[in-house]
C-alpha cells in the first residue's frame, strides 16, 4: 500500500508540474500578443529552441529510427499544423480576450474524437457525447461574449475566425501525433517535427512582414526562448507522469492547462472575467473531463 501511494504521489506531482508549465507556455502566447511581438518570429524562436533541446536528447538516447518515410510524413504534417495553430492562436489573442481564446482552442479535442470515430472506429461513450454538447455550448457562449470587447466588430470576427482555425490546426497536430506514436520513433519525431516547424515559422516570418518588426524582435526572442523551455519541460513532465500513472487521470489533470493562462491573463493584464466567460471556462473544463472519459 505504501509503494502504491508513493507511485500515485509521483505521477500526480508530475502532472501538476506539466499543467503549470503548459499553462505558462500558453500564457506566453498572450505576452507575445500584448508586447506586439512579430508572431511568426516568436514562433520560429520557440520552435528552434525546442529543436535544439530535442536533438540533444535524441543524440544522447541514440534510439534507432525504423521507418524514415513514415517519420518524415508525420513530422511534416505535425510541424505544419502545429506552427499554423500557434500563429493563429497568437494572432487571435490580438483581437479577442484570452478568456475567450484559450477555452475555445482547448476544445480541439472534439474534432479529434470525431476523427477517431470515423478513422479508428472508436465508439463514443455517453460521457463523451455529453462532453461534445457542452463543448458546443461553451463555443456559443464564448462567441457571444467576444462582442463585449471594445473595438470594431470586424476585429472581433477576425479573432473568432483565427481562434477557430487554431482549434482545427491543433486537432490536426494531435492526430498526427497519434500516428507518430503508433508508427514512428518518438524522440526522432519530436526532434524532426520541431526542426521542420522552425523552417515553416521562418517562412511565415518572411511572409508576414509588419512595421516595427525590428523594434519588437528582441521581445520575440526572449518570449520565444521561454516558450521553448516551458514546452520541452512540460512535455517531459507529461511523459514521465504517463509512465507512472493512468492515462485518463494524467490527461484530465494536464488538460486544464488553459485555465492557468486565463488566470494569469486576468492577474497580469487585468482582463475582465465576466459571468459568461467564467461559465464558458467551467463548461469547457467539464467537457474536457467528459471527453477524456
pLDDT, position 246: 65
In terms of C-beta density within 10 A (0-12 exposed, 13-18 middle, 19 or more buried), how is residue 173 classed?
buried
Domain extent, residue 145, equals 13-291
Residue 74: HSE in the Cβ half-sphere, 13 Å Cα cutoff: 22
Q: What is the pLDDT along the chain (293 residues), one digit of tens a residue?
A: 444 444 456 888 888 898 889 899 989 988 988 888 887 788 889 889 999 998 898 888 877 777 788 889 988 998 889 888 888 988 888 888 877 887 788 777 778 777 877 887 767 678 777 877 887 777 777 766 665 554 444 578 888 899 999 999 988 987 887 777 677 777 788 888 888 888 877 777 666 665 445 566 788 899 999 999 999 888 778 777 776 776 656 766 777 787 788 788 888 888 777 787 788 778 877 877 776 65
Q: What is the predicted pLDDT for the residue at 12?
A: 81
Q: What CA–CA distances, in Å, run from 227 to 1, 48, 108, 221, 268?
A: 39, 10, 21, 10, 17
> C-alpha angle 120/122/124, rounded to 5°?
150
Residue 282, domain member (yes or no): yes
Closest CA to 288 of 128, 137, 145: 128
For residue 4, being part of any structural domain is answered with: no
Residue 280 to residue 290: CA distance in whole angstroms: 15
Could you tell me if residue 2 is inside a domain? Answer: no
> Rounded to whole angstroms, how far apart are CA atoms 123 and 247?
18
Q: Is residue 124 part of a domain?
A: yes
- Contact status, residue 221 vs residue 44, Cβ threshold 8 Å: no
- What pLDDT is attached to residue 151? 46
Q: Is residue 3 part of a domain?
A: no
Q: Which of 29, 72, 61 is nearest to 236 (CA)?
A: 61
User: What local confidence, expressed as pLDDT, does residue 152 receive?
Assistant: 45
pLDDT tens digits, one per residue of 132-189: 788 777 777 776 666 555 444 457 888 889 999 999 998 898 788 777 767 777 778 8
Query: What is the signed CA dihedral for 269, 22, 161, 190, rounded to 10 degrees?
Result: 140
Residue 6 lies in a domain: no
Distances in whole angstroms, Cα of residue 259 to Cα of each of 98, 130, 131, 256: 10, 21, 18, 6
**Is 201 among the domain residues?**
yes
Which three-class secondary structure state does DSSP give residue 212?
coil
Number of domains in the chain: 1
- 36 within domain boundaries: yes
Residue holding cell 517519420?
A: 71
Amino acid at each position: 500500500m505504501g509503494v502504491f501511494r508513493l507511485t500515485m504521489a509521483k505521477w500526480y506531482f508530475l502532472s501538476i508540474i506539466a499543467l503549470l508549465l503548459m499553462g505558462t507556455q500558453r500564457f506566453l502566447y498572450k505576452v507575445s500578443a500584448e508586447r506586439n511581438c512579430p508572431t511568426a518570429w516568436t514562433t520560429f524562436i520557440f520552435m528552434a529552441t525546442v529543436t535544439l533541446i530535442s536533438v540533444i536528447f535524441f543524440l544522447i538516447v541514440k534510439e534507432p529510427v525504423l521507418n524514415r518515410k513514415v517519420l518524415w510524413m508525420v513530422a511534416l504534417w505535425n510541424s505544419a499544423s502545429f506552427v499554423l495553430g500557434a500563429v493563429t492562436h497568437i494572432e487571435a489573442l490580438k483581437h479577442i480576450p484570452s478568456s475567450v481564446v484559450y477555452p475555445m482552442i482547448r476544445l480541439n479535442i472534439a474534432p479529434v474524437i470525431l476523427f477517431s470515430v470515423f478513422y479508428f472506429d472508436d465508439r463514443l461513450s455517453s460521457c463523451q457525447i455529453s462532453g461534445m454538447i457542452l463543448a458546443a455550448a461553451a463555443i456559443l457562449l464564448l462567441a457571444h461574449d467576444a462582442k463585449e470587447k471594445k473595438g470594431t466588430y470586424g476585429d472581433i470576427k477576425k479573432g473568432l475566425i483565427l481562434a477557430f482555425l487554431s482549434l482545427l490546426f491543433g486537432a490536426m497536430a494531435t492526430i498526427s501525433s497519434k500516428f507518430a506514436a503508433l508508427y514512428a520513433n518518438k524522440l526522432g519525431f519530436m526532434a524532426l517535427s520541431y526542426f521542420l516547424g522552425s523552417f515553416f515559422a521562418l517562412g511565415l516570418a518572411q511572409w508576414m512582414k509588419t512595421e516595427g518588426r525590428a523594434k519588437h524582435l528582441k521581445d520575440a526572442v526572449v518570449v520565444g526562448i521561454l516558450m521553448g523551455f516551458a514546452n520541452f519541460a512540460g512535455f517531459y513532465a507529461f511523459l514521465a507522469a504517463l509512465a507512472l500513472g493512468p492515462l485518463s487521470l494524467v490527461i484530465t489533470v494536464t488538460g486544464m492547462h488553459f485555465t492557468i493562462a486565463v488566470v494569469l491573463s486576468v492577474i497580469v493584464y487585468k482582463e475582465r472575467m465576466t459571468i459568461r466567460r467564467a461559465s464558458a471556462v467551467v463548461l469547457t473544463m467539464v467537457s474536457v473531463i467528459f471527453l477524456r472519459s
